[in-house]
A and B are shown apart, each in its own frame.
Chain A
Amino acid sequence: MVLILEQILNGVQLGVTLFLISAGLTLVLGIMGLVNLAHGSLFMIGAYAAATVAARTGSFLAAIAAAVIAAAAAGFFMESIFRTLYEKPHLNQLLATFGLVLVFNDGVSIVWGRPPLFMTIPKVLSGSIEIFPTVFYPAYRFAIILAGLVLSIVLYFCIQKTRIGMLIRAGATNPEMLSALGVNIRQLYTVVFCAGALLAGLAGALIGPLISVQIGMGENVLILAFAAIIVGGIGSIRGAMVGALLIGGADTLTRSFASDFLRTFLIPSTADNVGGVISSVVPYLIMAAVLLWRPQGLFSRV
């Protein structure tokens, strides 16, 4: 029971991390019609910047700040390249984002080298906390969950209640009409792109201490984030949240319980094999199920 609770929390933690990545991805896709394969690179840049600054200064807050700044700057750079591509066919844009992935991966290996970096959990959050009587959970993971939830509330507020949020929602529904109404849509693109980059970089910094910071770390997360926004519906922040929690939860739970469950009626080695296969395909099966049921995603208004 305790283990299940712990794994559910781990699932939520992966879910909120995925949400931070999906949020930018889904907005960029909804508003600009651009599948940004290089979004995972922003996550990687954030993690590298955080790991470097944390190792130099020892301050976790400085590391977070560095990650956010570095990712937003990289996002600004990326957007300035895409700006020349908006008039081009989608295929050109897609391949350019793929080219940027290669550039960022190799660029990072030139600057930081190939071996992975390690980041330590800040001292204050290194212990465990008692979330329920007798149930302990690592404080750092719990902090990520809280940070993710706070950020999603802030993001929700920004999108629903502020002027810029209104423009973003309008842009996701009908960009041509918005620009016909006299809104500088190029500027809006830049703002959305940099905000998305910032969130991805933040996710990289938060997750840095839990995994090894290495080249290509963003790519697997990126594809889970794709699955999350397809489940949630493109252009919808709420959909991205639900999709991310669903995919993150399913991924974590099957990873930890599938083989144990199968061991009850299969021989252990077979169970581990089949369990591994199942847990690797479950997020995509969820995506497939949603596609069959609602091809436009759970929260799409289209």
Chain B
Amino acid sequence: MRREQLITALLFLLFLALPAGTYLTGTQSINGLLTRIVIFAIAAISLDFIMGHGGLISFGHAGFFGVGGYVVAILAFHDTEQSRFLGLLQGTNSLVWSLPAAILVGGAVALPIGFLSLKTRGMSFVMITLAFAQMLFFFFTSLSIYGADDGLSMKTRNVLFNLNLQDDAVFYYVSLIALLGYAFLCHRALNSRFGMVLHGSRDSERRILAVGISVFPYRLVAFVFSAMGASLAGALFANLVQYASPDMLRWSVSGEIMAIVILGGTRSLVGPVLGSALFVGSETLCKSFTDHWGLLLGLILVGAMIFTREGILHALTGAQSR
């Protein structure tokens, strides 16, 4: 445990100092990549919240990731067009409005999906969350006012006070604050009574029932909270690339987020961050010299699943969790 805290502290300092380092070495161009790592770390932490801690394997996180992205892009679209969403709601280009909106809409979408999906267990849950995410994917591809297959691009990133978010380093810090905020909330939730019930329901649903607690509401809240995290990540991602498209909702994105969690190490808040750095970093590196990143990633995944049981974090700390 102590080693994990050490890694957390080192990682925190590293992430805090990185953009400064890029200025000193003249490699500011990688700030976008660093932001991407931070954003996928948020998505991975949110998935680990229900998957690692709740024992619910959701394969639909790309759906909520995409919803978050689309909320930001649609609000920005109505702001530029000076039109109203469904004739009612004004658009906005302010991060103060669009980020909470994305999180809330993500949670609102997750509520019915979670309510239905949580009626099943285990592998059925995997398929159902995947199917609902695919439904969201088709939903957005058929929205022709918002670009359908082509997606919706944003003229600029959102505005936040007087900060220049167009600068990658500034946007990086905004994303990092979001990561820390979400991770802090997860940490508090997991160390509360709520977290204990969630862990208990993962290890033995029957015992939790015997204690007199109904697990369903806890699981539903965890599912919605997790989806909100994914929407937050999606909202930041749309801002980063100034674009929201159905590609964000592809089921392979769900697989990638899951791969980040597993490669990094589940049931810790640092594992997903390490996983994201490894995954996004090597993705960018490989894509620069080969078109067949998919083949490489696939082989790595299959190999890692066969030969390892735990992610990098557990390899580093030497912890033997079950």
Contact = CB atoms under 8 A, between A and B. Distances in A.
Nearest to A102: B298
B305 interface: yes
Given A95-B259, A99-B300, A280 B139 contact: yes
B142 A99 contact: no
Interface size range of chain A in the complex: 35 or more
B124 A288 contact: no
A104 B299 CA distance: 10
A223 B252 CA distance: 12
Contact of A291 (B119, B144, B251): B119
Interface stretch (B83-91, B128-136, B164-172): B128-136
B119 A91 contact: no
A220 to B, nearest CB: 8
Contacts of B134: 220, 223, 284
Contacts of A92: 262, 305, 309
Contacts of B255: 37, 95, 98, 101
B306 A96 contact: yes
A219 B258 contact: no
B286 to A, nearest CB: 12
Contacts of B252: 98, 101-102
A281 interface: yes
Contacts of A220: 134
Contacts of B306: 81, 84-85, 88, 96
A129 B243 CA distance: 49
B24 to A, nearest CB: 37
A-side binding surface: helix, strand, loop or mixed?
helix
Interface string A90-112: 11111110111111111101100
B141 interface: yes
Nearest to A296: B120
SS class, residues of chain B in contact with chain A? helix
Instruction: Pick from A92, A109, A280 the residue with the most CB of B within 10 Å.
Output: A280
A230 interface: yes
Nearest to A106: B295
Residue picked from B120, B131, B292, most chain A C-beta under 10 Å:
B131
A221 B322 CA distance: 36
B174 interface: no
Interface residues of B, number: 43
A64 interface: no
A288 B302 contact: no
B57 interface: yes
Given A102-B297, A106-B298, A226-B130, A284 B135 contact: yes
A291 B117 CA distance: 8
Contact of B116 (A99, A223, A288): A288
B301 interface: yes
A273 B123 contact: no
Nearest to B142: A276
B124 A230 contact: yes
Interface of B: 51, 57, 59, 116-117, 119-120, 122-124, 126-128, 130-132, 134-135, 138-139, 141-145, 251-252, 255, 258-259, 262, 292, 294-295, 297-302, 305-306, 309
25 contacts: A33-B122, A35-B123, A81-B302, A81-B306, A90-B57, A91-B57, A94-B59, A95-B305, A99-B305, A100-B298, A102-B252, A102-B294, A102-B298, A103-B295, A106-B292, A223-B251, A226-B127, A226-B128, A226-B131, A230-B120, A230-B131, A276-B142, A280-B135, A280-B138, A292-B119
